Amino acid sequence: MQVAGYENAIYKSFESLGAAREAYEKGVEAYRQSVVHKPIDFPKCESVTAFVRDSIAVDASCLGNPGDMEYRGVYVATGAEWFRIGPYKQGTNNVGEFLAIVHALALMKQKNIHLPVYSDSQNAIGWVLKKQCRTRLEQTPENAPLFDLIRRAEKWLIENTYSNPVLKWDTTAWGEIPADFGRK
């Protein structure tokens, strides 16, 4: 509410008043630089723009197409898994990516956390922005629970607002997204 109506407002929550004061004293740009991780483990990363370390990365895995699908969200700074959902029968990877983004946004809204969400799926990001899962997957009795979850996610997007940016993870520059299941 304190930033509503202010164009290009910049804000963030902090764990403590001391951490907030320290960030304020540094200034916006200096603080942003202090929380940005510049990968150095890979030779190709010397010319890479940085990603925000204080963020959530999401990914999905689908064994078959359609097949058993699950998704998860990981805190990028530590690699800690924040959520893992599934598997659901007869899903697709794009559906899982969409649901993972919405899950991350809903969880952070519930907990009043304002972090960027990274996904490596341009399709899923587009679906979230349009507030509609544009899957071509047909509903069957076996995947009915998954379609119920899709409807709930679309309803959440329509009924809620969020300030968290949803960003594309640059796999070419930064390597696999931290939430990757490692099943390639």
Burial of 45 (0-12, 13-18, 19+ CB in 10 A): middle
Who contacts 32 (Cβ-Cβ below 8 Å, separation ≥6)? Answer: none
Distance CA 62, CA 95 (A): 10
What is the pLDDT, as a whole number, of residue 12?
61
Q: Which of 85-94, 106-115, 130-139, 175-184 has the lowest mean pLDDT?
A: 175-184
| 3 occurs within a structural domain | no
User: In this model, does residue 17 exceed pLDDT 80?
Assistant: no
pLDDT tens digits along 23-68: 778 776 666 555 544 343 433 333 347 899 999 999 999 998 899 9
| 37 occurs within a structural domain | no
| 168 occurs within a structural domain | yes
| Domain count for the chain | 1
Percent share of the chain, pLDDT over 70: 79
User: In this model, does residue 71 exceed pLDDT 90?
Assistant: yes
| 9 occurs within a structural domain | no
What is the pLDDT, as a whole number, of residue 15?
64
Structural domain that includes position 103:
52-174
Distance CA 168, CA 146 (A): 24
Cα–Cα nearest to 99, from 171, 34, 153: 153
The answer to whether residues 31 and 23 touch, using CB atoms and an 8 Å cutoff, is yes
Across 102-124, average pLDDT: 96
Question: Can you give the CATH number for the domain in which 153 is found?
Answer: 3.30.420.10
| 6 occurs within a structural domain | no
Burial of 84 (0-12, 13-18, 19+ CB in 10 A): middle
What is the pLDDT, as a whole number, of residue 103?
98
Distance CA 34, CA 29 (A): 9
Across 131-144, average pLDDT: 94
